[in-house]
Structure 1
Amino acid sequence: MQGRRRGIEFVIAAAVLIAVSVFSAPAHATGPITLEGENIVDRVEVLGDRRDELQNAIDRIDVEQNIGIYVVFIDTFGDRGPDTWAHTTARRSDLGSRDLLLVIATEDHRYTWSVEKSFPLSDKQLEEVAKKAVEPELARDRWAQAALGAANGCEAAAAGETIPSAKPDARTTYRIIALASALAVVIAGTVGIYRWKTRRGEK
């Protein structure tokens, strides 16, 4: 018999969520499903050629740590609460005490996961995985990388290792460098103007 389940719900990029809600037509809500022996269900086709990479990561944590990772991508939770959606799917699918179900609703920009109370990782560890390896990727709509971060982060936590942080993509790094450079120019210009005015005032 399954024990009580616990879950953590997150909202990604609140500003983006508001914009999506205002300017986009509502997506068709997907009700809880039953996993038919699949570790990955991609209802919105966001994985592309990263599906095999994700499956390999899921297979590795299963072998190394005896932890099952299940990932579901949907458009929206609709009127259902994310935790209710995930818990219902987990129970229908007969997931066990060493299984984690991650559900990502791409249109909602919300996600959650469901585990039993006796799952090997604590809420604190799961929150660290989320903050370091999952949320940064979801904030940039990098769906496959977020799921990979969850699998790799849980594997590291279970092994007592440091949870790897998400790496910024090249565009993000470029923007940061460009912003820093622009800020440096503005500061230098402001200092130059101040000094010029000071010298003028001394004359």
Structure 2
Amino acid sequence: MPHIVRVLVVLLSVVFLPGLAARGDRTARADPPVPVSRPVTDGAGVLGDRRAQVEAAVAGLRDRYGVRLYVVYVGDFSGLPAKEWASQTALRSRLGRFDLLLAVSVGQRRYAVSADSRFPLSAGELDAVAATAIEPALRRGDWAAAATGAAAEYGAALADHGKMFAEIGAGRGALAALSGLAALVLAASLSPRWRRIRRHRPRRP
């Protein structure tokens, strides 16, 4: 069952953020909670050519520690509190024990982090990542850095717990490889048998 770790209203800076007005139509759009399947969803259109950086950071966290971070940027949480929007999205996405959701409302300058109650890091550790990596970047309007910084800090926190999480990541990769190999072996073993069955099947009169 997901629980919400941290919610913050990030105050607008006195300095006008470059490019924000040009994206005003997208950042003001209301986005209801929907299932997410991709690691990065930029419904607000704020990442631009830095999307690849965010995707690489998320992939690195997954490959090394087996933790899947889903990052969602929307224009507006459609009238819902940030924690409610994140909670509903996590539930609809069927996120599990090793999954995290970072939801950012660009138009409202709010965000929430959702994690399963069994997630390996404690609420205090997740809170620390939010305070040191996510919030400063959002205050600067650096949307990409909020995600890349979070991925890096989550990885550092997991590394402090020892080898277990690295083994989880390696184990998932090995399992996928073994599954693919098993499928190939099965196909190779069945193919001659199928040909023999077809060859020796009696013809109908």
Q: Same fold (TM over 0.5)?
A: yes
Instruction: Judge conservation of contact 2:2–2:91 (CA < 8 Å) in 1.
Output: no
Specify every segment of 5 or more residues in structure 1 that has no aligned partner in the other structure, as ranges: 17-23, 162-203
Q: Comparing both chains, which one has the higher relative contact order based on Cα–Cα distances under 8 Å and sequence gaps of 6 or more?
A: 2
**Cα distance in 2 between the residues matched to 1:34 and 1:4:** 14
Helix, strand or coil at the partner of 2:140: coil
Aligned ranges 1:63-102 → 2 under 5 Å: 63-102=63-102
Q: CA-atom RMSD, angstroms?
A: 2.1
Distance in 1 separating the partners of 2:113 and 2:6: 6
**What number of residue pairs does the alignment pair up?**
152
Structure 1 residue 4 displacement after superposition: 4.4
* Aligned counterparts of 1:88 and 1:4: Cα–Cα separation in 2: 9
Q: Is the partner of 1:86 in helix, strand or coil?
A: helix
Report deviation, 1:107. 1.0
Q: Does residue 130 of structure 1 match 2:130?
A: yes
Distance, in Å, in 2 between the alignment partners of 1:8 and 1:134 is: 11
Which 4+ runs in 1 deviate beyond 3 A?
none
Specify whether residues 120 and 49 from structure 1 end up closer, same or farther in structure 2 by C-alpha distance, changes over 3 A only.
Answer: same
Render the CA deviation track for 1:116-159: whole Å, top value 9, x for unaligned.
Answer: 10011111111111111111110010000111111111111111
1:109-124 equivalences under 5 Å are: 109-124=109-124
Shift of 1:14: 5.9
Structure 2 segments unaligned to the other structure (5+ residues): 15-23, 162-205
Q: Is 2:13 the partner of 1:12?
A: no
Which residue identity is paired with 1:103?
A: A
- Structure-1 separation of matches of 2:13 and 2:48: 26
Task: Tell me, yes or no, if the aligned pair for 2:4 and 2:112 is still in contact at 8 Å.
Answer: no
Hey, what does 2:51 align to over in structure 1?
51
Look up the equivalent residue of 1:10 and give its one-letter code: L
Q: Aligned ranges for residues 142-181 of structure 1 at < 5 Å?
A: 142-160=142-160
* 1:78 Cα deviation from its structure 2 partner: 3.0
CA shift for structure 1 position 5: 2.5
SS of match in other structure, 1:13: coil
Question: Does the alignment pair 1:29 with 2:30?
Answer: yes
Shift in CA distance, 56/15, structure 1 to aligned 2, threshold 3 Å: closer
Matched-pair identity in %: 36
Distance 1:157 1:38, change over 3 A: same
The residue that corresponds to 1:177 in the other structure is: none
Match of 1:184 in 2: none
Give me the whole-angstrom Cα distance separating, in 2, the residues matched to 1:4 and 1:72. Answer: 16
